[in-house]
Structures are given as structure tokens and as C-alpha cells.
Amino acid sequence: MNRALFQKIIFAWFEKHGRVLPWRVKNHEDAQRMSGVRETLATYFTKAWRRDPYRVIVSELMLQQTQVDRVLPKFEHFIKRWPTVLDLSRAKLSEVMIEWQGLGYNRRARFLHEMAKRVVEKYNGVFPQTETELRTLPGIGEYTARAVLAFAYGQDIGVIDTNIKRIFARVELGVEANAIPISPKEFQSFIDFSVPKHHGDPWNQALMDFGALVCTAKSPKCDHCPAKTLCIAQRIAEEYRVKTYAEFLKTPHRNQQKKQSIPFEQTNRYFRGRIVDKLRESPIHMEELRMHMETNHGLSSRKKFGEIIESLVLDKLIYIRGSRASLD
């Protein structure tokens, strides 16, 4: 896929149609300054995207199992009552539990409260900036830690929520999210690779909105989708002479597609494994490696070979020096 074009399309769509959500305000001071002023998406693009990790975590924990519409008033109320992590650390757990009412899954309220105490006691009120440290905080798993790194610290990493997973599964692989034919690790590096440099935050926000409003789970708006020409799922639908992928999802063709799923020996995962196997024997010249993959494993596309090599290098599984590939 043409990544640069996909990024351009998604950002253009986001600037026009992205949602203005209270947790996208940079920090408490900005929120106060802008109180009563309608925030627009354009302002997000003109100021530093680094946001308060506390606001990111509160919103992410609230959104974990609850719809945006229900979270909106609760978030605003919660943040007004405890605007900083220090304020929350001083609250009583019972107060937080009461405030949480209506959001469900109360464990999240307890985690949030414990997390605030831990950040204040152990980190002097400043959130850590590594995934490993963030994940030691109560209630913070891989997804939330990565969300903090991208949204608050501006790191160029992909945040895989259900919307983003669905978009990439369809656009790049032509399947639904529950039929992704590569390993979660490969999928993660694939998503990380798609992030435009220095735009980790807006890129993930834009995709989340695109998945929530256009490439939705049950009724994607393929008819009006600006990424239609790049989408493999849409292309597959057209091959079956169905107008859009949205219609394709509802037809019996889809079951045919399921049966025709790619054999393992044609997946990137398989090819990656064979490349690493070959390098286990000894370092090798790149062209020799390509010919080995073509002759012995049927990988004839140079473009695909290049992409697989790139993903292995990104994952630090292989190294390229000059024209030779090796494992170290």
C-alpha cells in the first residue's frame, strides 16, 4: 500500500471530521483557558501535541469498557473534581468509587486511585516515560502504556485499539480483525511502521475516529470512504462483483472468502521464519537470500521480500550490513 498517500488521506479526513473530545485538550491549564471556547481539530495541528498523561490515563481507563457518549460527562466531572494526579492521590477511595458510578467495572476506579497514589509516592507525581515502568502501575496494561507514550510523550508508536486493528486488517490485509493471518507481534510492528514521523499522537487519534465513524465494524461507509482506492478489502469485494466491502460483509461471498484463506506457507510469518532459519546457517548476501527464498519457498515478489526484510530489521531479528544479512 502507498503509506504516504494513506497518511495524507487520513489526516485530511481527520481535520474535517475528527471529533472534539475533552481528553484531547492538552492539560488542565489549557482546559481552563479554553473553557467556553470551542476547541477545533485545526488547533491540535498547530500546537504541541504532548498532553497530560494523567488526563490520558483517566480517559483511557474510562473508555476501556464504556461508550464515548457515556464517558463524556463522567470524564469532565471527574477531571473538574481531581484535575491532577496529586489531587486524585489525596482523595478517598470511596469518593472515587462514588464518582465512578454509571461507568461500570469498578475495578478501574480502584486501579486509578492506586495508580495516582503510586505515581505520587514513587515518582514524585511525574509519570514515568517507559512502557516497562508504566506497566508496573495498577491498571496499566500494554495498550494503555502505549497510549500514554504516544498521546502524552509524542512517541511514534502505534496504539492498537479495536478501531485501529479493524482498519489495518481491512485496508492492508483484506480481512476482518478476527482473521488476521500474522502474529500479534508482526501486526504490532506493521502498525508501528505506519506511524508518520513525529505524528504518533494525531495519527492514532485520527485512526480511532476513522474507525469509529467511517470504517465501522458492522456497516463501514465504503461508499464515501476516502481510502477506498487503497483498501484491499474493498478490492476483494469488487473482484466478487460486489459494489462495496460493506455489502460484501453481508453476502455469502464472504464465507467463500473465509474458506479461501491464505495457506500458512504463503504468509509473511512463514517467510520471516524461513529467512531467519537461513541466517541461522551463516550470514548471506542479500541477493543470494532472495534467490533462496524464491527457489525454495516460492517468494517471487521482490517487493514483498523487501517488506519482510524491513519488518525483520525493525524487529531487530536480523541485521543488514552493506549487502549482507546476518543474525547479529
The yes-or-no answer on residue 60 being catalytic is: yes
Give the contacts of 269 (CB within 8 A, at least 6 positions apart): 181, 182, 183, 186
CB 103 within 8 A of CB 25: no
50's grid cell:
504532548
The nearer residue to ligand SF4, 140 or 177, going by C-beta atoms, is: 177
The nearer residue to ligand SF4, 122 or 243, going by C-beta atoms, is: 243
Shortest spacing between CB 188 and ligand SF4, in angstroms: 20
Shortest spacing between CB 217 and ligand SF4, in angstroms: 10
Identify each DSSP E strand in the chain by its residue range. Answer: 284-285, 319-321, 324-326
Shortest spacing between CB 202 and ligand SF4, in angstroms: 19
The nearer residue to ligand SF4, 231 or 318, going by C-beta atoms, is: 231
The nearer residue to ligand SF4, 183 or 229, going by C-beta atoms, is: 229
Residues near ligand SF4 (CB under 6 A): 170-171, 214-215, 220-222, 225, 227-228, 231, 233-234, 245
Give strand pairing partners of 325. Answer: 284, 320
Name the active-site residue from 15, 60, 172, 307. 60
Neighbours of 265 (CB within 10 A): 11
Shortest spacing between CB 227 and ligand SF4, in angstroms: 5
Grid cell 494525531 is found at 202
Q: Would you mind telling me the total number of residues written for the chain in this entry?
A: 328
The nearer residue to ligand SF4, 49 or 168, going by C-beta atoms, is: 168
Q: How far apart are CA 118 and CA 42, in angstroms?
A: 36
Grid cell 462514588 is found at 98
Q: How far apart are CA 110 and CA 84, in angstroms?
A: 16
CA atoms within 13 A on the CB side of 17: 17
Shortest spacing between CB 180 and ligand SF4, in angstroms: 15
Just list the catalytic residues.
60
